[in-house]
Amino acid sequence: MEKFVLSVIGQDKPGILSCVSTILFQYGCNIQDVSQTILQTEFASIFIVHNPGGHVLEEIARTLNQTLESMGLSAHLRPMASHEIDSPASANHEPFVITTQGPDQPGTISAVTTAMACLHCNVVHFRAITTHEEDQDTMIMIFEVDVPRAVDHRSLRKRMQEVGAGWGLDVSVQHREIFETIHRI
């Protein structure tokens, strides 16, 4: 099965997904997975696309970019790695949600994610939101993280709180099931 990864970025406007999906359909491609978001005024998306006809990626990219350029967007394609994510590997991890809140300052994201990486945690979803309150910018970060089962949860919590304290951040580390239960109430 031949797959490729397509990313599209640029200024948000109506019709982007329609344009991209129509071009892919014209090439006989099938979108198998997509994630799209708007950050302030910017559109960002990533697609996993099945290319059963084996069309040349450079040709698809050229068509996409010629059309998207007039909309202020650009596309990048690359072949998808041949190995699939197998579910037994995910059995070696547990899902956690790590949230932080504190002053918005350069280096905060780097410090927090470096601490996670040192523990071999994989960030699977991340959202950062900056708000302006009481003459100060505050950043709220929410990380969904796969934590290796070999990592002691108390050590994870302690390390994240140590890093957070150094940056003036309040930090919460919760198993995803607990996080979802609490936020469902």
Domain boundary among 79, 107, 136: 79
User: Distance between terminal CA atoms of the chain?
Assistant: 43
Total domains in the fold of the chain? 2
- Asked whether residue 126 falls in the same domain as residue 63, the answer is no
State the CATH number of the domain containing residue 173. Answer: 3.30.70.260
Q: Could you state, in chain order, the average pLDDT of each consecutive group of 10 residues for the chain (185 residues)?
A: 91 92 94 90 94 94 95 94 56 91 92 94 90 86 94 93 96 82 67
**Other C-beta atoms lying within 10 Å of the C-beta of residue 104:** 15
Domain containing 41 equals: 3-79
pLDDT at residue 10, as a whole number: 95
- Asked whether residue 42 falls in the same domain as residue 97, the answer is no
Domain boundary among 38, 58, 79: 79
User: What is the model's pTM?
Assistant: 0.70
Based on C-alpha coordinates, what's the Rg of the chain? 20
- Asked whether residue 9 falls in the same domain as residue 74, the answer is yes
- Burial code (b: 16+ CB inside 10 Å, e: under 16) for 8-43 equals bbbebeeebeebbeebbeebebeeeeeeeeeeeeeb
Domain boundary among 61, 79, 97: 79
- Asked whether residue 101 falls in the same domain as residue 156, the answer is yes
- Asked whether residue 70 falls in the same domain as residue 100, the answer is no
